[in-house]
Structure formats: structure tokens, C-alpha cells
Structure 1
Amino acid sequence: METNEVKGCVFCDIVAGRAKAHRIYEDDLSLAILDINPFSEGHTLVIPKRHVPWWHDLSEEEVESLFLVAREVSSKIMRAYSPDFVAIYARGRRIPHTHIFVVPTYRGDVLDRFFNALEGFQEGTAELAKLKEDAELAEAADRLKEA
């Protein structure tokens, strides 16, 4: 397996076994570890074993692995903690090695409040309201189809 390892990348060091991590689950292409700065108990990161800064640059096999591991970890979180929801989202900006946050959330916790506020902003601002118009949606769809 090619790792495309980058010196100084904490996730590459974890994959290589040079840095400590609490490993939860892994397959040939992905590794799930507990986040050391968790939003809630059980907050897990799923990382590709190969160093890839942006998730859209992963191979099809890596994408499949990443999301299958995220689903397995989500099931484990549901059994272990019984949260209201398990949120997942892709990151890779602050630590430029793509990763998926898999976070148990509960009504009223920081992520629940954040996503509710974000959805309220999404639904309630004049700037974004015009993006809901059919002409704007058709233009965006055409632009994406042609890209």
C-alpha cells in the first residue's frame, strides 16, 4: 500500500505507528482514532492511510473505505453512547490530511446548537434566499454538470 507519507503530518505519524493514538477500527485503507480534542465522548476521526490533503482527491477505493469505516464507527458510537445523532463531516483544512469527523451529538450540545444555527442562517438570509429561486438553481445545476 502506498502511503505517500508527509514528514511532520501527525496523521501520517499515527498511521506509521510513530505517534500514539487510540485506534478504534481500521481496514486496509482507512484508520479510525479517537480525537484528542473531542466535541463529545466517542468523537472519532477516520483518516485515509495514504496522505491526501483533500477528500475529493482520494481514489474511489479510498472514498469507499473511508465512508464504510465511518459507518462502522457510527454504529459503534450508537451502541456505546446512544446519542441522538451521529454527525459526520469531512475536514482537512487545519491538518492537511483529509479526515472525517464522526461525532455523537445530543439535543442542545455544542454541535446541535451550531448546526441548528447554521441551518437557520441557511434558511433565513436574503443573500442565500435568492439561491433557492428556480433560475438560480438551474444555473448552478448547469454549471456543475459542465464542470
Structure 2
Amino acid sequence: MTESCVFCRIVRGDEPAHIIDEDELSMAILDINPLARGHCLVIPKRHVPWWHDLNEREVSSLFRLAWSVSGRIKRAFEPDFVAMYARGRRIPHTHIFLVPTYKGDPVDRFFNALEGFQESSVILASLRNDLKETAEILRNV
């Protein structure tokens, strides 16, 4: 844990948080700047900047807790779906966003715009030409 990390301070109990659930390795809290009612963050209790650097037990814990809390969000707020994405760039402590999403809300519009860009961008479209080679590279690393 680091002193400067807000999530580490929350895990230690040094910062207030609305804890929704936790287990030995992970914790789910409400986001203090929610994009929607019920927007949660799921964090590992160990300070790990990037989710792909977690150990296998932490990954299992993190995603199991995310799955469980997503079910709670669905039952409580009945969204169209619960968007899930992992970040860590602004606050370098792995965190999974769980955002209840409804048709036309800001998160839905953002992902629709992103998908539209992904499908129509000439630069990104050129990546389709390399799919076979890219798959081969990733299989053999």
C-alpha cells in the first residue's frame, strides 16, 4: 500500500467510503463522482497499478466481486445493462468501473460514439487487414 493512493487509504480505513461488499482481496465501493446512481468501483486491496499485473487469486476475486455487485446494481436500479471497464491511468491503482447504463444516457452515448469511431475510422479500419497476423502474434507470445 502507498500513502499517496486514495484507494489504499480507503482499504486501510483512513478515508471514508461507502463500501458495498468486500472479500479478503477486493473491495467494492460507490464512486464519489458517479456517472449514474449505483456507479461502483471494484478495487484490489493490494496496491497494483494495472489490472494485468494482479496475481491469479486477485483477478478471480476482483471479477467475482464485480459480477456480484453488478447483479445488485441490476436488481436495485434495473438498468439496460451494467457497463464494465478497467482503468488505472488517472489513479494508478487498478479499479473496475461498474456503471448502470440506460439507452441514451452519457455512458451509452459515449460507448456508441466510440464503437462508431471504431467501425468507421480509416486508420482503425486498416487494422482489420492485420487480424490474421495479429492473432498469430498473440497466440505465440
TM class by smaller structure: over 0.9
For structure 2, the 5+ residue unaligned runs are none
1:50-103 per-residue CA deviation (whole Å, 9 max, x = no partner) reads: 000000000000001000000001000001000011000001110000000000
- Determine whether 1:51 maps to 2:47: yes
Which of 105, 130, 146 aligns to 2:140? It is 146
Q: Supply the distance in 1 between the matched residues of 2:126 and 2:93 (Cα, whole angstroms).
A: 35
Q: Supply the distance in 2 between the matched residues of 1:114 and 1:145 (Cα, whole angstroms).
A: 31
Counterpart residue number, 2:105: 109
- Determine whether 1:137 maps to 2:128: no
Pairwise CA distance, 1:146:
3.0
Aligned-partner SS, 1:79: helix
Superposed structure 1 runs of 4+ greater than 2 Å apart: none
Counterpart residue number, 1:14: 10
Pairwise CA distance, 1:145:
2.3
Identity %: 65
Pairwise CA distance, 1:118:
0.4
RMSD: 0.8
Q: Supply the distance in 1 between the matched residues of 2:54 and 2:122 (Cα, whole angstroms).
A: 36
Which of 37, 42, 51 aligns to 2:38? It is 42
Aligned-partner SS, 2:113: helix
1:82-130 per-residue CA deviation (whole Å, 9 max, x = no partner) reads: 0011000001110000000000000000000000000000111111112
- Count of residue pairs the alignment pairs up: 141
Q: Supply the distance in 2 between the matched residues of 1:80 and 1:121 (Cα, whole angstroms).
A: 32
Q: Supply the distance in 1 between the matched residues of 2:113 and 2:137 (Cα, whole angstroms).
A: 29
Q: Supply the distance in 1 between the matched residues of 2:125 and 2:14 (Cα, whole angstroms).
A: 49
1:50-129 correspondence runs (5 A): 50-129=46-125
- The one-letter code matched in structure 1 to 2:32 is I
1:15-70 per-residue CA deviation (whole Å, 9 max, x = no partner) reads: 00010000000111000000000000000000000000000000000001000000
Q: Supply the distance in 1 between the matched residues of 2:68 and 2:140 (Cα, whole angstroms).
A: 35
Task: Give the alignment's TM-score, normalised by structure 1.
Answer: 0.93
Q: Supply the distance in 2 between the matched residues of 1:38 and 1:142 (Cα, whole angstroms).
A: 40
